[in-house]
Structure 1
Amino acid sequence: MAIRRSATKRHGLPTVVQLRLTPTPAQAEALAAAVLLCNQAATVVSRLAWQHRVFSVVELHRLAYYEVRAQVAGLGAQAAVRAIARVADAYANRRSTKKRAHIFRPHGAVPYDARLLSWNRDARTVSLWSPAGRVAVSYTGRPEDLKAVDGLPLGEADLICRRGVWLLQVTLTLTLPQPAVREPVDGFLGVDQGAANLSVTCDGGVLPGPVLAGPIGGNGHVRTLRERRHRQRRRLQKKGTPAARRVLRRLSGRERRMMTDLNHQISKYVVRQAERTGRGIALEDLQGIRGRVRAHRLQRRTLHTWAFAQQITFTRYKAARAGVAFLLVDPAYTSQGCPECGWVARANRPARGRFVCTGCGLAGHADHIAARNIATRGAAGWAAVNQPHATGLPSPRRDRESKPPASAVGS
């Protein structure tokens, strides 16, 4: 499972807690044997999967279950099942980049599920499977972590030995009640997403910007960092030496983590603004944009590595948590339509960042104009979804991702 402590909070509560185990010398020896055995079993399954090119959990279980239990003496039935699941997870996202079978480190973290461990919260002990039988080990931790373990449902856990210290990283199953969605009282907050500017609101806010805390100064800073990472990766890949590959492994995921953090900051700011002003949130439905848009060859990498869907997902769940109305609207002609007179023309965009209406003369930044059109479409779409039903029954409010009516501005 490879839980990281860097993402231990969500929705204001911890989702992963780390406990420190205090085993006796005999118990520590049993846990060490369990870790070695489980990682050995995972390596055996991985070699079978690579040899037969079988990577799905069900097919891999049929192929490797009896074989791994025969080869690894002392391996329990559920431990074999977890080893097969670990191998399937290891190949799920990185299969195309692998040149050989994945080898599991002998002392790597081992996942334990509900069939491999049980809790005695009153005695502050956890019973863990080992080849020699169950061992009941005492645990301790920070007061907030212990409180979470005592009061919340527990999920899978990772058993880790780090510099002689035994740790148990436990996932928590959070079931937080969501408030009812409030009716927007002052329209919608439209947000335009793009490559030049990550997000621009209908209020004129350009994100990221000074309103966001953090080291990222603005959209130009983001593009500079991404280009620098791209040049660095190309240089190291071209070099191809073992040292270059080590640096690539160390840098792996750094840009993705930066963009995830930025999307979290942007979505949090947008939801707070909508909640403070009593508005809903409207974003463009950009599903399939990579297949629809024909980009210049110099812009394809930027387009195809942009996390449009991630920002929409973050905004959606944060809006649901705050009870803010959320709507996806049709993105067609949002940057070519005038929010004042409704005139739509390609000539309204004389340049990438400029908008000048050829009908009424309204001028402004193209992304800001698009955000205003998105806000108008959001209000029109919300009214269409929530209009009274002909039979007198309330119309369903669950489908809030409707398209705007034909009379919407800019359609």
Structure 2
Amino acid sequence: MAIRRSATKRHGLPSSVQLRLTPTPAQADAVTAAVLLCNQAATVISRLAWQHRVFAVVELHRLAYYEVRAQVAGTPTGRVTLPYTGRPEDLKAIDALPLGEADLICRHGVWLLQVALTLPHPAVREPVSGFMGADHGVANLAVTSDGAVLPGPALAGPVGGNGHVRTLRERRHRQRRRLQKKGTASARRVLRRLAGREHRMMTDLNHQISTYVVREAERTGRGVALEDLQGIRGRVRAHRLQRRTLHNWAFAQQITFTRYKTARAGIAFILVDPAYTSQACPDCGHISRANRPARGRFACQRCGLAGHADHIAARNIATRGIASWAAINQPHATGLPSPRRDRESKPPDSASGS
């Protein structure tokens, strides 16, 4: 169960902290009643919205307000003040920084409060040493233009693979299928537990990838360039054995994590056109499907450059990052900054960090 409190959005870079609430039994009962009441009201509002096909906030408020008051019985006991604990740095942050929205969560009987914070937003530094490109894929979750496979057993190692991640996901997929076929109450409980574990694993891996990329870019004075993967699921023709990974992996989350971490560090960030990044030669510029003689191999038919296809794609992404950054930072006749640069480098309204 969860209840969300919205707050006015402020300028800056949001992050979040998690606090553990320690209510007394009476306080826990009061909070539980408030959450159930909120969820009951949300159910009524959702039913009215779909019944009348009204989804705009103002119109939905006019439509649902009085009916919700009539149908949702009971009122909370009033404001409840709860003690909380957390990491010292998190407690210091909520005292010093502006607060955003908060999520109240009850997880296995433990009450948690996840609070969004607004961190200072430093100015973006010019990428004097160019851009670091990262190619996102299925066989390799991410490969950088330096040749590092992420998350990989060794982050700085050569292009190899993420077989351990794929093996783990395949094993869990087979386990889910067996439990779904079994269909018992205990099997459903295990499925719910596995779903949470899978989500946490994906989020952790995406944090590992984004953190490494941002730290390496900061260390070398570069910006970060990623492919604009919007619509990748409908655009990419994956092998049937890779389709499940393609459709299940949180590519958007990986981009979101990288975007807000670069903004927090003042590093240039840009999304580039992904077209032909794995078919173009970064040395001579020749583009051809024949440059990909095998799924993971690149061999330029003009100049003979050869290498791992994902590494070649990451190099092309880095090159396009340099060109795109130069284009959107050209001075305007009016003397105003490029609106596209503001859109690319602006952090999202909310995100969670590690």
State the TM-score bracket (shorter-chain normalisation): 0.7 to 0.9
Matched AA of 2:321: G
Question: Which residue of 70, 73, 76 maps to 1:66?
Answer: 70
Question: Are 1:17 and 2:19 counterparts?
Answer: yes
Structure 1 residue 2, shift from structure 2 partner: 3.8
Aligned residue number for residue 307 of structure 1: 250
Aligned residue number for residue 230 of structure 2: 287
- In structure 1, distance between residues paired with 2:234 and 2:108: 46
Question: Which residue of 115, 118, 138 maps to 1:195?
Answer: 138
SS, match of residue 285 in structure 2: coil
Conservation of the 8 A alpha-carbon contact between 1:267 and 1:315? yes
SS, match of residue 210 in structure 1: coil
Conservation of the 8 A alpha-carbon contact between 1:152 and 1:172? no
CA 1:67–1:245: 2 relative to 1, 3 Å: same
Matched AA of 1:363: A
CA 1:204–1:42: 2 relative to 1, 3 Å: closer
Matched AA of 2:286: W
SS, match of residue 342 in structure 2: coil
- In structure 1, distance between residues paired with 2:107 and 2:325: 53
Aligned residue number for residue 93 of structure 1: none
RMSD, aligned α-carbons: 3.5
Structure 1 residue 387, shift from structure 2 partner: 1.5
Conservation of the 8 A alpha-carbon contact between 1:157 and 1:168? no
Structure 1 residue 218, shift from structure 2 partner: 5.8
CA 1:20–1:367: 2 relative to 1, 3 Å: same
Aligned residue number for residue 263 of structure 2: 320
CA 1:170–1:52: 2 relative to 1, 3 Å: closer
**1:34-113 paired onto structure 2 within 5 Å:** 34-35=30-31, 37-38=33-34, 41=37, 58=61, 61-69=65-73, 72=74, 75-76=75-76
- In structure 2, distance between residues paired with 1:159 and 1:205: 37
CA 1:189–1:53: 2 relative to 1, 3 Å: closer
Question: Are 1:258 and 2:171 counterparts?
Answer: no
SS, match of residue 327 in structure 1: strand
CA 1:223–1:64: 2 relative to 1, 3 Å: same
- In structure 2, distance between residues paired with 1:161 and 1:279: 41
Question: Which residue of 358, 366, 373 maps to 2:309?
Answer: 366
Q: Which runs of 5+ in 1 are unaligned?
A: 4-10, 80-115, 118-127, 129-136, 402-411
CA 1:381–1:248: 2 relative to 1, 3 Å: same
Give TM-score, length-normalised by structure 2: 0.78
SS, match of residue 126 in structure 2: coil
Q: Which runs of 5+ in 2 are unaligned?
A: 4-12, 346-354
Conservation of the 8 A alpha-carbon contact between 2:94 and 2:117? no
- In structure 2, distance between residues paired with 1:258 and 1:238: 24
Q: Which of the two has higher C-alpha Rg?
A: 1
Q: Which digits, 9 at most, give the CA deviation of each residue in 1:327-361, with x for residues without a partner?
A: 11111111111111111111110001111111011
- In structure 1, distance between residues paired with 2:47 and 2:330: 59
Aligned residue number for residue 82 of structure 1: none
CA 1:32–1:302: 2 relative to 1, 3 Å: closer
Structure 1 residue 139, shift from structure 2 partner: 4.0
Aligned residue number for residue 349 of structure 1: 292
- In structure 2, distance between residues paired with 1:60 and 1:225: 46
CA 1:169–1:212: 2 relative to 1, 3 Å: same
CA 1:342–1:305: 2 relative to 1, 3 Å: same
Conservation of the 8 A alpha-carbon contact between 1:153 and 1:172? no
- In structure 1, distance between residues paired with 2:267 and 2:105: 40
Question: Which residue of 367, 373, 398 maps to 2:342?
Answer: 398
Aligned residue number for residue 389 of structure 1: 332
Q: Which digits, 9 at most, give the CA deviation of each residue in 1:277-330, with x for residues without a partner?
A: 001111111101111223344332121112111111110000000011001111
Question: Are 1:380 and 2:323 counterparts?
Answer: yes
Matched residue count: 322
Question: Are 1:240 and 2:240 counterparts?
Answer: no
Matched AA of 1:209: G
- In structure 2, distance between residues paired with 1:394 and 1:37: 51
Structure 1 residue 63, shift from structure 2 partner: 3.2
Higher RCO (CA-CA < 8 Å; seq separation 6+): 2
